[in-house]
A and B are shown apart, each in its own frame.
Chain A
Amino acid sequence: MKQVQNVAITAPGYWGLNTEDSPTTLQPSFASIADNCVIDKKGRIASRKGMEYVTTSGGTSTALKSLFEFTGDDGAKVFFSTGANKVYTGTTTLSDGTPGAASISADNWQFTQLNEEMFMFQAGHAPMMYDPDVGSVQLVSAHSGATGTPPQGNCVLAAFGRLWVSGVNNDPSTVYWSDLLNGAAWSGGSAGSIDVQEFWPDGYDKVIALSEHNGYLVIFGQWSILLYAGPDNPATMVLQDVIQGIGCVSRDSIQSTGGDLIFLDRSGLRSLGRTIQEKSQPIGILSRNVNTDLKNTLAAETGIVKSAYCRREAFYLLSFPSQNLTYVFDTRFPLEDGSLRATQWIDRSITAFYVLDDCTVYMGGTNGILEYSTDYTDEGSTYPLRYYTHPLDFGQPSTLKILKEIDLIMEGGDSYTIAIKWAFDFAGTYRTGTVRTSSGTAAEFGISEFSIGEYGGGAGVSSKQIKAGGTGRKVTIGIETDISTAEFAVQEMNVHAILGRII
């Protein structure tokens, strides 16, 4: 009598996607598909939250491309967004705050704040700013403190007590800095510039983005990175390091995680800290497990790549809006090779991100501002979750497996119908069985809703089994469901199979 072999996959897919390595050798913890998933706080494949519009008025067809929240010294906040060649203020209601003197033909603005003033730069456009004492957005040149001509750069950084701007059309290698504590003063004082054209290691490059890291001014080129030390005195700052072969392809892909900078290179998602340590070694690629797909996606992208880093959610989002795809990299615990666990959000074109002080994630949408919402609906509708394993051989790749049963332990879900799918030997034809989760919402310990009706929610852990069938050497198992009201996570998956003859 053949003995039933049990393969238990605890926290299936918690290593995230892996589309790089051979599926035959991958651990069961990797997923081949993880759509609209995140790695939750327990290290499980779970559904992402929903996306609901915050904007209820004035947001129609705004197609927001940039978001920014200005915070005054008195704590007053003003939310700015740009789209349809306009500048809007507000969240629930978007008001057109475009200066009359501004001539805007694109929406690729980059925002920053310096000394209680907001500044926004875009190549080929006169920079604009918001001064709460003025109360409206105006051209920098129109501000009472303006001196000189502000550069019409494409990237701006507020750091070391001044603004840093680069990416001026036809002058792509010069970094300009403003006078100290005055982002409107571009002549006199300690204002100045540096042309780094001579210092690109490949002979030619252009500044894509500027950032600050560990007291260094980081100048991102397309193909290389320059690190200047001592930028608190720009006249004496010195070139500390040059990184060749790694650059930044997207200005808005750069996010500071506190101890590191994450940015998108043509070779994949990179960490500056590890890049400095390891130079251009491939081991430093954070997106290693999805790198080819990521690079292909990047190559095919025609929109503006956007990103966000949320400490509370502990993920780094990288959106490719023209392909309705967002890569999600979990930043809690890197894998052994240093890469980040990745999942994907599909079927959503996210054109802008901004993370508020309370870690609320705002996103740019066609008709205004979207919030990463605990409603677990997208604009009131369900959205699909798909999780698929790589082909599993149960440790005996040459032995035929006769699939008997699949057990799922799930958490959350509110009477969700779960489709469990399986297929053999890399075939794309899946058999399907369904289970249904318990009703009610899952308990949300530690999410500040204790004693507010959701503590010990009724929809807790659901353990469901289905009888499976079929034979093959390798089995691929998938889970699909529509997320509608509550979080859903796959806690554990057990596959029972009878090992047959050796093929």
Chain B
Amino acid sequence: MSLWDLISGGLQAGGNAYLANQDIGRIEDLGQNYYDQAVNFGQQAVENTRFQPFTVTSSLGSGSYNPDSGLSISASPQLGQAIGDTLGLAGGLANRFTDANFINNRATTFGQTFGVNQNQPTADSRFSSLSSMLGLGGTRDGAQYGSLLSALGLNNQVGGASGYGPMTFNDRVGGVDGSFANMMSGLNTGRVGSSGADPMSVLALMGEQGGRNEADIFRMLEDMQNPERERARLDLENRMFSQGRTGVRTDAYGGTPEQLALEKAIEESRSGNAFNAYRLAADEAYKNRSLRANEVSSAFGLGLQERGQDITQNDILGRLGLGAINAALTQRGQDIDQNQILGQLNLAGLDRALTERGQDITQNQILGQLGLGAVDRSLTERGQNINEDLARSGLSLDAFNAALAERGQNIQQQDIFANQGLNLYRNALAEQGLLGDQMAQLAQTAFLPQQMLLQELGLGLDAAEIANRNLLAGQELNYNSMLGGLDALLGFQTAATTARSNRDRDILNLILGSQESGSNGLADLFANAISDLFN
């Protein structure tokens, strides 16, 4: 073997070795790149699967959800006002209806004002069917009065700070319905007797109490019994003194048992007098009012006789300050009915609506009075049931629905609607009446939609479960990606190692081969390497 051969063989072998090293490096780089990309892909998968807060906006409100605070729904100003009014009404009514003292006080006031027998004021002033008082028709019972009041636009008055509560309303209505009606019927009977009194002064008497109050009668009863009591006290004191017991003080009786018995008897007597005072005052007031009613009739008869006038129902109304009703009656030639009363009660809108449409009051009017004009119009135009309108056009959760649908989830608008607790409201409005306690219940349950939504999503009540699930999916992708990257990296590293091993073996064989043959094995290898290099 020539030197050239040796050199060329060596060069060839070196070139081959160099090339082998280059290939091995590429293989390793490829594996590393593959791994890096797999890692990035996995991280991207995690990011992509992370739960993103979303917001849904409609014409009546908007809702947003994030894993920290859950689902928040904001109603539009109109809907919010309507719901607020309704809930306020419900709460106010619930409170009023459950306030026994309020009812009793109102009942007492009513009884005192209109001279109803004291044994009956509660029954007379108790809320019965408003429809029976106002003649609005329908079959509403007293329990539905709350929703009906709200339909009459009394929300703010009932729930507000004006103090113009439902019982006040009732008083007024009751007054008109009761005493006023009685007076009207009495006046309609014409002139009855003649007392010669001034009708105005007699009328003024109508505003006074019907008789002495309970305290006066109680004092009178006490005055009648006090002498006997004092005699009993004196007798006991004398007896106690004669027995040497006036100085007795006991923890059990305070003084002596006899003193306790006497004082107890006196207090029982006072209690009886108090009760009797109430009863007697009521009886006296009732009698006095009956007498004054006759005097009023007589006075009117006399007064009108003197004036040469005939008395009409409208005159009386005018005297009572109900001029508007009187005028309305005169203009319309109508008899007074519930509409005029409603008008006087600031229910002009409803009054006009009724007049113009010639309709009976319906749920639409109620909605209109509640400020739900859009719904009202929608109902009017579409003639559709309020349920669907409110559900579809009212909340317009299409975007939310679409977002859910895009995610492959099957949730319907109405389900959302139901889960937001609006079905109660919807149904209540549809049925034209909500009980106060139902409204209160609505107020308590209406702000729990996220729980219902999550339930509908099958995720239970844990709001974080959604995010957890997404995170789990991302982590799974990340894991798989990283696993793939690692596999690739391992494969390429294995290949590189194999190549490196082959290269080393070839070099070793090259060396060992030249020694064994005694030839110029190394030179041949070098020559081959040089040859390969230049080839």
Q: Which residues of A line the B interface, CB within 8 A?
A: 174, 187-199, 226, 228, 234-239, 242
Contacts and interface: CB of A to CB of B under 8 A. Distances in A.
A88 B147 CA distance: 87
A239 B249 CA distance: 15
B248 A239 contact: no
Nearest to B243: A238
Contacts of B257: 235-236
Given A236-B256, A236-B257, A190 B246 contact: no
B244 interface: yes
A242 B251 CA distance: 26
B447 interface: no
B244 A199 contact: yes
B253 A235 contact: yes
Interface of B: 241-253, 256-258
Top 10 nearest A-B pairs (CB, nearest first) are A239-B244, A195-B247, A192-B250, A238-B243, A199-B244, A194-B248, A235-B250, A194-B247, A191-B251, A193-B249
28 contacts: A187-B251, A190-B251, A191-B250, A191-B251, A192-B248, A192-B249, A192-B250, A192-B251, A193-B249, A194-B244, A194-B247, A194-B248, A195-B249, A196-B244, A197-B247, A198-B246, A198-B247, A199-B244, A235-B252, A235-B253, A235-B256, A235-B257, A236-B258, A237-B245, A238-B244, A239-B242, A239-B243, A239-B244
**Which of A188, A191, A192 has the most B CB atoms < 10 Å from its CB?**
A192
Nearest to B246: A198
A196 B247 CA distance: 6
A320 to B, nearest CB: 34
A242 B252 CA distance: 27
B245 A194 contact: yes
A186 B245 CA distance: 19
Contacts of B244: 194, 196, 199, 226, 228, 238-239, 242
Contacts of A237: 245
Is chain A's binding surface mostly helix, strand, loop or mixed? mixed
A89 B252 CA distance: 38
A165 to B, nearest CB: 14
Contacts of B253: 235
Contacts of A242: 244
**Which of B241, B249, B257 has the most A CB atoms < 10 Å from its CB?**
B249
Nearest to B242: A239
Given A174-B247, A239-B243, 15 more contacts: A187-B251, A190-B251, A190-B252, A191-B251, A192-B248, A192-B250, A192-B251, A193-B247, A194-B245, A194-B249, A198-B247, A199-B244, A226-B244, A238-B244, A239-B245
Given A198-B241, A235-B257, A236-B257, A192 B247 contact: no
Nearest to B252: A190
A237 B247 CA distance: 12
Contacts of A234: 248, 250
A238 B248 CA distance: 10
Contacts of A189: 251-252
Nearest to B253: A235
**Which of A188, A196, A197, A242 has the most B CB atoms < 10 Å from its CB?**
A196
A16 B175 CA distance: 104
A192 B248 CA distance: 7
Contacts of B256: 235-236
Contact of A238 (B245, B251, B252): B245
A192 B243 CA distance: 17
**Which of A194, A235, A237, A238 has the most B CB atoms < 10 Å from its CB?**
A235
A94 B248 CA distance: 42
Contacts of A228: 244
Contacts of A197: 247
Contacts of A194: 244-245, 247-249
Contacts of A238: 243-245
B194 to A, nearest CB: 69
Nearest to A227: B244
A242 B241 CA distance: 13
A336 B241 CA distance: 40
A164 to B, nearest CB: 13
Contacts of A187: 251
Contact of B250 (A190, A195, A196, A198): A190
B470 to A, nearest CB: 71
Contacts of B247: 174, 193-199
A282 to B, nearest CB: 27
A190 B252 CA distance: 6
A226 B243 CA distance: 11
A300 to B, nearest CB: 35
A243 to B, nearest CB: 13
Contacts of A192: 248-252
A226 B250 CA distance: 20
Contacts of B242: 239
A78 B284 CA distance: 78
A193 B254 CA distance: 10
Nearest to A229: B243
A190 B248 CA distance: 12
B86 to A, nearest CB: 58
**Which of B245, B251, B257 has the most A CB atoms < 10 Å from its CB?**
B251
A191 B249 CA distance: 9
Nearest to A219: B244
B263 to A, nearest CB: 14
Nearest to A192: B250
A163 to B, nearest CB: 15
A191 B253 CA distance: 10
A199 B248 CA distance: 12
Nearest to B256: A235
B248 A235 contact: yes
B258 to A, nearest CB: 8
